[in-house]
Amino acid sequence: MTSVALPSRAVPTARLSSFYFFYYAALGAFTPYWSLYLQSREMSVTAISVMMSLWYATRVVAPSTWTTLAAVSPHPIRWLRIGCVLTIACFAGFLVPAPPWTLYAVMIAFCFFYNAVMPQFESITLTHLGADSHRYGMIRVWGSLGFIIVVTLFGWLIDKHGAGRLPWLMLPLFVLMTGSAFLNRYARNISARSQHDAGFWSIVRQKPVMAFFIAAFLEQLSFGPYYTFFSLYMDQHGYSTSLLGLMWTVGVVFEVAVFFLIAGFFRRWDASWLLIISMASAALRWWVTALWPENLPVMLIAQTTHCLGFAAFFASAMQLLARYFPGNLNGHGQGLFYGFSSGLGGVLGALIAGQLWQFGDGKVAFIVGGFFALLGSVIAWYWLPPSRQVRRAGQAAAEAHT
C-alpha cells in the first residue's frame, strides 16, 4: 500500500512550526555561545573540543536508538515526548554547582536526549506533508527564525551579564519545546518495524544512496571548526560578543530566505544539484574564514553563504531522504542520516579541529575543513545524479513495509 498525500489544509503548520522554533531557538543559544560558557567554567581549548565532541558523539547513537524505539512502539509519539522531558531533566544538571569534571556526564546525558528527538520529528513532519515534501522549507524556516531571535538577544545578554548565566537562559526554551511535543502527533498510524529491514538496507547499499551519506558525512566534518570554535576564533581576533551574535544572525537571515524560496527551486531542478552547489560553497566559505578573519565585510559576506552550506544542503538532504526512504522507512533513514553524517561526522570534525587548532590559531583547521567540503562535493557530483532506480526501489520497500 502506498502512502496517500494529505491535502494541504490538513497539515498542522502552526504546531509543526512551533517545535522547530523552540528546538532551534535553544540551539541558537547552544551553538554560538556554549563554548564561551565552558570557557567561563575555566576549561581549556582542548577540554572544550572534547566537550563539544560529545554533542556530536551522542548523534552517532541517539537518533537511531530513538527512531528504533519509536518504530517498535504501538504509540511512537510517546518517545518524542519522553525524549523532550528527559532533555529538560538532564540539562538541569548544568544549573547545579558541581566540579568541572561532572559536566562531562551531564553533557553526555543532555546531548543524547536533545539529539534523539529531532530525527523523529522530521519523520512526523514528512508524514503530514506526504507528496508535498517540497513545502518542508516553509515549516522548517521557523526553526531558523527562532535561532535568529535567540542568537541576537542572548549575544546582548551575555555581553551584559556574562556567559555563566547561559544555562538559566536556555532552560525556558526547552520547556516550551516540550510543550510543543505534547501538541504534535503523526499524520497517520505508523506500524511497528517488521521483517522488512532487509528492504531498508538494500536501499542503503545502492551507490547513489551510499554516496549521499558519505557526502553528508564530509559536509558535517567540514563544519567541525565552525561549530566548535568559531566564537573563540572571532573572539581572539577582537570581535565582541554582540558583534559575534550579529555575524551568526547574518548567516541565519539568509538561511531563512532560502527556506522560503527553496520550494520553487525543487519544482524545476533535482535536489542533488543543489546538494553539490551547497558543499562547494562551504569549501569556499571555510577558506575565506581562514585567510581573512579580521576583515569584517569579508566575514559578513562569508556568513551569508550559510544559506547554501547549511540551509540549501539540509533542505536538499530532506528531499533525497524522502525520495530514497518513503513512507515508514523514512524514520530509519532519518536516524541513519543524523547518526552517521551529523553524529560521526560531527564528533570527528570537532576532534580534528581541536588537534589542528594549535597550527595558526585555527587557520589550518578551517583550511582542512574546506577540503573536506570540496571532497564531498566531488563525490556527490560523480555518484549522485537524479536516479529513478533508487526512487522505485524505495517505493517498493515502503510498500512491503506498510
Please name each of the domains of the chain with its CATH number: 13-401 (1.20.1250.20)
Angle at 336 between CA 335 and CA 339, to 5 degrees: 80
Cβ–Cβ < 8 Å for 225, 351: no
What is the pTM (predicted TM-score) of this model? 0.73
198 vs 84: which has the higher pLDDT: 84
Closest by alpha carbon to 269, among 134, 179, 110? 134
Highest-confidence segment of 69-78, 132-141, 382-391: 69-78
Residue-wise pLDDT for 160-202, tens only, equals 888 889 999 999 999 999 999 999 988 765 554 544 555 778 8
Estimate to the nearest angstrom the gap between the alpha carbon of 161 and the chain centroid.
Answer: 29
What count of other Cβ atoms lies within 10 Å of the Cβ of residue 15? 15
The rounded percent of the chain whose pLDDT value lies above 90 is 35
Cβ–Cβ < 8 Å for 137, 15: no
Residue-wise pLDDT for 236-276, tens only, equals 888 887 788 788 788 888 888 888 888 788 888 888 888 99
In the prediction, which pLDDT does 394 show?
Answer: 47
Highest-confidence segment of 36-45, 59-68, 163-172, 187-196: 163-172
Cβ–Cβ < 8 Å for 156, 242: yes
Which pLDDT band holds residue 343 (cuts at 50, 70, 90)?
A: confident
Position 9 pLDDT exceeds 70: no
Measured CA to CA in angstroms, residue 379 lies from 139, 313, 323 at distances of 30, 14, 19
Position 7 pLDDT exceeds 50: no
Cβ–Cβ < 8 Å for 120, 66: yes
Which pLDDT band holds residue 106 (cuts at 50, 70, 90)?
A: very high
In the prediction, which pLDDT does 194 show?
Answer: 45
Closest by alpha carbon to 332, among 273, 397, 376? 397
Give the Cα separation of 48 and 73 in Å (integer).
Answer: 37
Position 401 pLDDT exceeds 70: no
Mean pLDDT over the full length of the chain: 84
